[in-house]
């Protein structure tokens, strides 16, 4: 069902604005009134990355009067495959600043507010408060739950998007929408997935153009809510499969037992989201405690192995396509899934062989999960490499590419 416009219209459009937005003005559903509402709107975009890039560009082009950008990261070369708001000359620059500069080229009439800080419990309410709605371009569960809860407490619409490899999802969570029947993010996902079970885009990859598909859906929903046109994705989940070129729309109902927006809420204030989501499982954290080595230590161990004074097996638990990009010399590949299903144990030296097992992955998360399996199988002296191959390339062998 359509909702009343979120924003009152601005008093007028200038002659320059009429020229710029003329293709909007001749759409009956938008017209002069809708464009004035966009001019009077304030939208916060969380993240100037894969989803944030197209969202920011199209919100600016559409004439949203005030855009907030929150991002504390810097532009990396690996971002440019999908984060189209940045260019080659922006590498090493603040993403928020780079995005502001690109927006100025797209539409100098837009006011841009930059928040170069990490979103957390201490600042989220103050940052969100001035904006009409929130567009979420984050890629981790802890931040998504934080954004959902803060938006709920401030009664603001939360436009969510998610991308992974060839698949994307989008929805609008707004329990305070007229009618009081709309769900929040927790109604769809009451609990985060088990740590280590869902790879991030940094681990699993994402088709660059998928970001444009989902980011543009998010902007479309923002425009509809701000101007009061169409039927927003409130209470609906849009699922996109880029390989099959298929869109599906599912109904998402409000959960009466939801911990946040249900009849008897248990989440009545912001919580510890890192603990709630957990980067790694308790088993992995316990296994890694006291059994984590640095890449510098590994380099020394490899030299000793080459000299014949030490013997161990170095196992890379990443996927084969990652192994083709870069690798730590002397490692063998056994993907993490092989540890989880038990097949990897057949490829390791016998427990009583005296040969130590050393595990690594891209950053240390997957290898910690594999380490828990290995230790549980009796390899008590097994260790994993903190920081993984990323740390190896940065600190030991910068001649290799990073990803």
Q: Which residues are catalytic?
A: 201, 361
Contacts of 346 (CB under 8 A, 6+ apart): none
Q: Is the dihedral of CA 49, 249, 62, 145 positive or negative?
A: negative
Which helix (H) or strand (E) element contains residue 375? helix 365-376
Whether residue 109 contacts residue 19, with contact meaning beta carbons closer than 8 Å, is answered with: no
Whether residue 218 contacts residue 51, with contact meaning beta carbons closer than 8 Å, is answered with: yes
193-202 exposure pattern, b = at least 16 Cβ within 10 A, e = fewer: eebbeebebe
Instruction: Please count the residues of the chain.
Output: 403
Neighbouring C-beta atoms of residue 394, cutoff 10 Å: 13
Q: Smallest Cα–Cα separation from 359: which of 280, 298, 400, 299?
A: 298
What's the angle, vertex CA 146, arms to CA 152 and CA 212, rounded to 5?
95
* Largest Cα span, the chain: 82
SS3 sequence of 219-275: HHHHHHHHHCCCCCCECEEEEEECCCCEEEEEECCCCCCCCCCCCCCCCCCCCCHHH
For 40, the 3-state DSSP assignment is coil
Contacts of 133 (CB under 8 A, 6+ apart): 6, 43, 44, 156, 157, 158, 159, 222, 225, 226
Alpha helices in 113-241 (DSSP H): 124-128, 141-153, 185-188, 201-204, 208-227
């Amino acid at each position: 069902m359509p909702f009343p416009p979120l924003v009152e219209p601005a008093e007028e459009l200038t002659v320059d604005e009429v020229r710029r937005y003329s293709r909007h003005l001749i759409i009956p559903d938008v017209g002069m009134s809708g464009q004035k509402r966009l001019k009077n709107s304030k939208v916060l975009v969380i993240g100037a990355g894969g989803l944030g890039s197209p969202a920011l560009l199209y919100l600016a082009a559409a004439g949203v009067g005030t855009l907030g950008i929150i991002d504390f990261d810097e532009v990396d070369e690996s971002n440019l495959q999908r984060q189209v708001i940045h260019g080659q000359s922006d590498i090493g620059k603040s993403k928020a600043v780079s995005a502001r500069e690109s927006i100025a080229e797209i539409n100098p009439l837009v006011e841009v507010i930059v928040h170069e800080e990490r979103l957390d419990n201490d600042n989220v309410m103050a940052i969100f408060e001035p904006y009409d709605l929130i567009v979420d371009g984050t890629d981790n569960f802890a931040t998504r739950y934080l954004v959902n809860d803060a938006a709920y407490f401030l009664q603001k619409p939360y436009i969510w998007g998610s991308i992974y490899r060839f698949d994307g999802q989008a929805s609008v969570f707004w329990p305070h929408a007229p009618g009081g029947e709309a769900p929040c993010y927790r109604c769809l996902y009451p609990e985060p997935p088990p740590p280590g079970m869902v790879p991030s885009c940094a681990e699993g990859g994402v088709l660059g153009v998928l970001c444009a598909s989902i980011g543009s859906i998010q902007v479309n929903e923002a425009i509809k809510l701000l101007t009061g046109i169409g039927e927003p994705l409130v209470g609906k989940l849009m699922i996109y499969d880029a390989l099959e070129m298929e869109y599906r729309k599912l109904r998402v109902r409000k959960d009466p037992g939801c911990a946040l927006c249900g009849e008897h809420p248990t989440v009545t204030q912001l919580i510890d989201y890192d603990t709630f989501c957990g980067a790694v499982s308790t088993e992995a954290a316990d296994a890694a405690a006291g059994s984590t080595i640095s890449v510098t230590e590994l380099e020394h161990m490899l030299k000793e192995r080459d000299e014949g004074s030490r013997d161990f097996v170095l196992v890379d638990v990443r996927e084969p396509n990652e192994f083709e990009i870069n690798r730590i010399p002397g490692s063998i590949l056994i993907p993490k899934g092989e540890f989880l299903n038990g097949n990897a144990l057949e490829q390791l030296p016998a427990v009583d062989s005296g040969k130590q097992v050393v595990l690594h992955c891209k950053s240390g998360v997957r290898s910690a999960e594999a380490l828990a399996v290995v230790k549980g199988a009796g390899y008590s002296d097994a260790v994993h490499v903190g920081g993984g191959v990323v740390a190896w390339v940065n600190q030991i062998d910068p001649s290799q590419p990073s990803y």
